[in-house]
Chain A
Amino acid sequence: MQEKLKKYLRLERLPHIWCPGCGNGILLGAFVRAVGQLGLDQNNTVVVSGIGCSSRATGYLDFNTLHTTHGRALAFATGIKVARPEASVFVLMGDGDAAAIGGNHLIHAARRNIDITAIIFNNSIYGMTGGQYSPLTPQGSRATTAPHGLFERPFDLAELAKAAGATYVARATTYHTGLLTRLIKAGAGHKGFSLIEVITACPVSYGRRNRSGSAYDMLVWQKEHGVPVEKAAKMKPEEMRGKFLIGELHRAEAPEYTEAYERFTGELQRSFKGE
Chain B
Amino acid sequence: MNEVLPLARLMQGNEAIAEGALAAGARFFAGYPITPSTEIAEILAEKLPLLGGRFIQMEDEIASMAAVIGASLAGIKSLTATSGPGFSLKQENIGFAVIAEIPCVVVNVQRYGPSTGIPTAPAQGDVMQARWGTHGDHPAIALCPASVQEAFTLTVQAFNLSEKFRTPVILLTDEVIGHLRERVVLPGPGELPVINRKKPPAGLKVYYPYRPDADGVPPMANFCEGYRYHVTGLVHDESGFPSTSPDVAERLMIRLNNKIMNNLDEIILTESFLTEDAEIAVIAYGAVSRSARRAVKEARAAGIKVGLFRPVTIWPFPEREVAELSGRVRALLVPEMNLGQLKLEVERSAGHGAKVAGLCKVNGELITPGEILEAIRQL
The answer to whether A84 has its CB under 8 Å from any CB of chain B is yes
Known: A43-B226, A83-B76. A75 touches B50 (CB 8 A): no
B28 contacts A79, C-beta separation under 8 Å: yes
Partner pick for B74 among A58, A62, A84, A264, CB 8 A cutoff: A84
Contacts between the two chains (Cβ within 8 Å), count: 131
Partner pick for B59 among A48, A82, A105, CB 8 A cutoff: A105
Partner pick for A66 among B59, B62, B231, CB 8 A cutoff: B231
- For A235-275 the 0/1 string (1 means CB < 8 A from B) is 00000000000000000000000000100110011001000
- Chain A's closest residue to B64 (CB) is A75
A69 contacts B59, C-beta separation under 8 Å: no
The answer to whether A160 has its CB under 8 Å from any CB of chain B is no
- For A140-174 the 0/1 string (1 means CB < 8 A from B) is 00000000000000000000000000000000000
- B186-235 residues with Cβ-Cβ distance < 8 A to A are 223-226, 228-234
The answer to whether B25 has its CB under 8 Å from any CB of chain A is no
Interface of A is mostly: helix
Stretch of B65-73, B170-178, B261-269 on the interface side: B65-73
The answer to whether A177 has its CB under 8 Å from any CB of chain B is no
Interface centre among B75, B224, B226 (most CB of A within 10 A): B224
- B224-269 residues with Cβ-Cβ distance < 8 A to A are 224-226, 228-234, 241-242
Partner pick for A68 among B54, B78, B96, CB 8 A cutoff: B96
- Chain A interface size, as a band, is 35 or more
- A1-29 residues with Cβ-Cβ distance < 8 A to B are 10, 13
The answer to whether A46 has its CB under 8 Å from any CB of chain B is yes
Shortest Cβ gap from A50 to chain B (Å): 10
**Number of B residues with CB within 8 Å of any CB on chain A:** 41
A79 contacts B67, C-beta separation under 8 Å: yes
The answer to whether A212 has its CB under 8 Å from any CB of chain B is no
Residues of A within 8 A of B229 (CB): 64-65
Residues of B within 8 A of A264 (CB): 49
B74 contacts A87, C-beta separation under 8 Å: yes
A82 contacts B231, C-beta separation under 8 Å: no
Shortest Cβ gap from B221 to chain A (Å): 9
Partner pick for A44 among B30, B71, B73, B224, CB 8 A cutoff: B224
B228 contacts A42, C-beta separation under 8 Å: yes
The answer to whether B374 has its CB under 8 Å from any CB of chain A is no
The answer to whether A77 has its CB under 8 Å from any CB of chain B is yes
Interface of B is mostly: mixed
B228 contacts A79, C-beta separation under 8 Å: no
The answer to whether B121 has its CB under 8 Å from any CB of chain A is no
B70 contacts A78, C-beta separation under 8 Å: yes
B242 contacts A104, C-beta separation under 8 Å: no
- A59-108 residues with Cβ-Cβ distance < 8 A to B are 59, 62-69, 72, 75-84, 86-87, 104-105, 107-108
B49 contacts A104, C-beta separation under 8 Å: no
The answer to whether B319 has its CB under 8 Å from any CB of chain A is no
B96 contacts A75, C-beta separation under 8 Å: no
- B43-62 residues with Cβ-Cβ distance < 8 A to A are 49-50, 52, 54, 56, 58-60, 62
How far is B72's CA from A82's CA once the two chains are assembled, in angstroms? Answer: 11
Binding site for A on B (CB under 8 A): 28, 30, 49-50, 52, 54, 56, 58-60, 62-64, 66-76, 78, 92-93, 96, 223-226, 228-234, 241-242
Sample (24) of A-B pairs whose CB atoms are under 8 Å apart: A43-B225, A46-B223, A48-B70, A58-B230, A59-B241, A65-B228, A65-B230, A66-B70, A78-B58, A79-B30, A80-B70, A82-B28, A82-B54, A82-B67, A83-B70, A83-B75, A83-B76, A83-B78, A84-B75, A104-B59, A105-B59, A105-B63, A265-B49, A269-B52
